[in-house]
Every structure is written in structure tokens, then in C-alpha cells.
Structure 1
Amino acid sequence: MEQKVTGSNVLASYPDYGDAQRLVDRMSDDGFPVESVRIVGEGVRTVEQVTGRMTRGRAAAAGAVSGAWFGVLIGLLFGLFTAGAGWLWLLLISLVIGAFWGAVFGFVAHWSTRGRRDFSSVMTLQAQRYEVHVDQAQAARAARYVL
């Protein structure tokens, strides 16, 4: 379903976000009031890039890393109330405990899927095209940038 942004004209349409961004950047460099410009992604879809095989060991390692960060955060918070050099030991102990429980939870979470998702991935949103819209009041002035 095609939907027009109210009160604006399509100045240009590009298959790549970078091209739309370059047009708006050129307009900005030239002093055009870019507050009246929008980049609208049309035909948005999700793209999942598979980054590798997920094993129980990798799941445990990823859990350990995230658990260690959480442990450091907790250690720093408790360290605010610790006098002397004891805060360093508290930080180290929190890191180790966080890494251990993170590894346990990462392993168990992956094991519980029973092989239904044995890969890691990164999900992104992409548009099929990017339209540069400009307010109707600025449309005539903006048209010179795409000629």
C-alpha cells in the first residue's frame, strides 16, 4: 500500500540509503533548510545475516562474556560503598561470579532449544528504496538538486 507523506513532495528515489544521504548532505552544505527534508524508507523488510554456527560451548562463552559485564556493573555499584582496596577484590569476585552464571545460563538456554536454532545471526531492517521528501513550500527550490 503506497502512502504519501502529508504536505510533502518526493524529490528523489534511490535504491541505496547512502545515495539519499548524500543528496541531503549536499543540500545541507549548500545552505538549504534541511529541516523540511525527510528520508523515507519504502518496502521495509528484515534481513538476518547468519554469522556462524552456535554450539553449546560458544553459547556458554557468549553467556560468560555478558555475565562478566553484568558482574562488573554489580561490582562497581557495590564498590561505591566499600572503603579501601576492598573494592578491587569485590569487582574481581563479581566479575568471576557473573561470568560463571552467565556461562551456565548461556549453556542451558542453548541446550534447551534441542538443536532448533544452531546458528548465531544479526537482524537488520532494510528498505527496498529510499525516497527523499521535501515540504511543498520548499519543493521548487529543492528541485534544482536532482537535475
Structure 2
Amino acid sequence: MAVLTQDMQEFVDANLCWVATQSLDGVLGLGPKMSMYVLDETHLAYHERTAGQTYRNLEDGSPLVVACANLAEKTGYRFRGNVTLHTDDELYKEQVAVAEANGTKVPACIVVLEVTAIEDLTGGAKAGTTIAKD
């Protein structure tokens, strides 16, 4: 697994992340995930609240790509890896409690990305270069 540095973890917590998936018929999907958080130094997670196309794509085995950027600083990261969907375990129950405490919609699922690659999205010559790879 690729390891998220402290700076990367703080960056994810401070900026909006977007996820990309692909349907079985090849249609790409892209959407913001305001609930994205750092689970630990090798995993990102978010509350799948709508259970819409992105969720169906993940259920069908789509890869997941997470991009997080700060336009003012022209910096960002892209994360790739393996997906696990949590719908009825301790992690799910813990996050349902978080959602209820925050007054947000109870998630249909907690999506966890085991990060295996991290790419630089800083503007300029470094854009797209690999920072870490499993």
C-alpha cells in the first residue's frame, strides 16, 4: 500500500475530493464526495449517501479514482487503489453514528479505498507524476 503523508492527510481533510468510476457499459462517472475522510495512513473512505450510479458502478467492480485539489494553491493529489464496500460491519455502524451525530443522511455504504498509488496534481511539469506506488 502507498502511505499518505501527514501533509496529504491534512490536504484531503481540508479540500473537496472528487471520485471517478466506470459503468459496465463504459460510461465514466464523476462526482464530488463531501464526506471523504482519511481512515488511516493507507486508506481513504467516504459515506455513499445517494446509492446512485457511482455506488452501482462500485458494486459492479469499477475501479475508483479519487482526486483532491486546491485551486487557489494549484496543488492536489490523485489516489488509486482497491475498493471495499462496508454495509453491515463495525466500520459501517461507527460511521452511521457519525452521520447521525452530524445530522447528515445515513449512508447506504462506507466506501473504503486501500491506496496503492498516489499521483501529484500540482500544476506544471510535475502534474500526473507518481509520488508513491505499491
More strand by share: 2
Structure with greater Cα Rg: 1
More helix by share: 1
TM-score (norm 1): 0.23
